[in-house]
A and B are shown apart, each in its own frame.
Chain A
C-alpha cells in the first residue's frame, strides 16, 4: 500500500522565503500524526502543501499516491483541510454550505444531512446563515464540510480552536472514527496534551524542516497524555 504522505527534500517558497526548506516526512495510511513546532516553523505551510494549495518548488512530494508537483487536482479531491479560516460562505445557510461541499465531490444530499446531524447542526441551526453562527458553531460547520467531502486525508490546523468542550470531544471522536475506517490525519496543534491523546506519532518542525520523525507506528495506541 502506498503511503498517505511521502515528502523527500521538499521545498516550498513563499515569495523567496523557503517556508518548507527540504522536508522529509512519511505518514502511513491510518496514522494520526501530530506536527509540533513554534510559530513560523512551517506547520501550516506543510498542511497546505499536503492539500495541494502550496506549490512544491523542488524535491519529491506524494499524497495518497499522487505526485503533488504534477497532479494537485487529484490530491485536492481526496483531502480535507481545516485551516485557520472556515472556508464557508457567510451568506449561505449551514445546509447550503454543506450541500455545496458535498455536491462538489459528487455526493448527494444525504451525505450533507448526515454531516449536519453528526456535528449537531441539524434542527434550527441548519437554516441559519453562517454569518449568524457563533465562532464555535462556525467551527463545527467547517468540520462538517470535511465529513461532507468524504476526505481520505484530514489536514487539521489548530482544529480545537474555537470549539467548546463538547465540540472538542466530538472532533476527537470523529478523528478516531476516521482513522478506524483507514483514513489518515495530520494535525498541527498547540494544545499538545489533547492532541497527543489522538496521535500515534509526533514530528517536530522548526525552520521549515522536520527535525524529528520517529518511525511509523501504525496500529499502536495513540500516545496518550504524557
Chain B
C-alpha cells in the first residue's frame, strides 16, 4: 500500500512540478485572497490582525479546493481515471498518495500564506508547537477530506462546481478548530488551544480512515 502511495504521490507532484500550476496559479491566488481581505478590512487594521487566523484558514481552504480539483482533473483528462483503475495499484495506496501530494502542496502554500499574514496583517508569531501541530493536522484533514470528495465527484461533468458545494460545509469543523487553535497560538496562550487541536486531529483521523476504506468503491462507482 505504501509503495503504491509513494508512486502515486510522486506522479502527482511531478505533474505539478512540470505544469507549474501550483506555483503559477494556486499560490498567487491564495495571496490574492489575503490581499483582497486586507483591502476589505483595511480601515480597521486592529480587526485585520485579530481576524488573521480565520482569514489564513479561509485562504488555505480556497486554495485547497483548487489543488484538489487539479488533482482529479489530471485523472479525468485523456482517460486517466480508467488508467488509474487499470493500474493495478491498491486503492488505499492511491488515496494516500493523492492526499499526500495535496498535503505537500498545501503545506508549502501555508508557509507562503503564513508569511503573507505576518506581513500584510501584522499578525504576531507565537505558540510555535501549537501552530505547527494545528497546521500539520489541518493539512492532513483538508487533504484527506478533499481527496474523498474529489474522487466522489471526479467522474462527473459538474465536478468543478459540485466539489466546493459538497466540501465546504464538511470542512466547517476543521476550519473552526484550526482557526481557534491558531488564535490561541498567536495570542500567546497555547494551553487553551489544544482542545481545538483535538477536534482538528479527530477530523483528520476520521477522514483519513474513511478514505483508506472507501476510496476504492468510490473510484469504482463514481
Binding site for B on A (CB under 8 A): 51-53, 73, 76-77, 79-81, 83-93, 96, 100-101, 103-105, 129, 145
Binding site for A on B (CB under 8 A): 4, 7, 11, 14-15, 18-19, 74, 77-80, 82-83, 85-89
- Assess the B86–A79 pair: CB atoms within 8 A: yes
- Assess the B86–A89 pair: CB atoms within 8 A: no
Additional pairs, 18, CB under 8 Å, beyond known A91-B15, A101-B87, A104-B7? A52-B86, A53-B82, A53-B86, A73-B88, A76-B86, A79-B86, A85-B79, A85-B82, A86-B79, A88-B78, A88-B83, A89-B77, A90-B74, A90-B78, A91-B19, A101-B83, A105-B87, A129-B18
- Assess the B88–A77 pair: CB atoms within 8 A: yes
- How close is A111's CB to chain B, nearest CB, in angstroms? 14
* B85 CB contact (under 8 Å) in A76, A80, A85, A105: A76
- How close is B2's CB to chain A, nearest CB, in angstroms? 14
Interface CB pairs A-B, < 8 A, 16:
A53-B86, A79-B86, A80-B86, A81-B82, A84-B79, A85-B82, A87-B78, A89-B11, A89-B15, A89-B80, A90-B77, A92-B15, A96-B11, A101-B83, A101-B87, A103-B7
* B88 CB contact (under 8 Å) in A87, A92, A104, A129: A104
Measured in the bound complex, the distance between the Cα atoms of B79 and A151 in whole Å is: 18
* B80 CB contact (under 8 Å) in A80, A87, A96, A103: A87
Q: A-B pairs with the 10 shortest C-beta distances?
A: A85-B79, A87-B83, A77-B88, A91-B19, A104-B87, A87-B79, A91-B18, A91-B15, A85-B78, A76-B86
In the complex, which residues of chain B have a beta carbon less than 8 angstroms from the beta carbon of A93?
18
* B74 CB contact (under 8 Å) in A79, A91, A100, A101: A91
Query: Given known contacts A103-B7, A104-B7, A129-B18, is B74 in contact with A89 (CB within 8 Å)?
Result: yes
Measured in the bound complex, the distance between the Cα atoms of B7 and A129 in whole Å is: 19
Measured in the bound complex, the distance between the Cα atoms of B77 and A51 in whole Å is: 19
* A53 CB contact (under 8 Å) in B14, B80, B85, B88: B85
- Assess the B14–A96 pair: CB atoms within 8 A: yes
- How close is B191's CB to chain A, nearest CB, in angstroms? 46
In the complex, which residues of chain A have a beta carbon less than 8 angstroms from the beta carbon of B19?
91
- How close is B92's CB to chain A, nearest CB, in angstroms? 12
- How close is A93's CB to chain B, nearest CB, in angstroms? 8
In the complex, which residues of chain A have a beta carbon less than 8 angstroms from the beta carbon of B77?
89-90
- How close is A51's CB to chain B, nearest CB, in angstroms? 6
* B89 CB contact (under 8 Å) in A79, A81, A85, A104: A104
- Assess the B82–A87 pair: CB atoms within 8 A: yes
- Assess the A92–B79 pair: CB atoms within 8 A: no
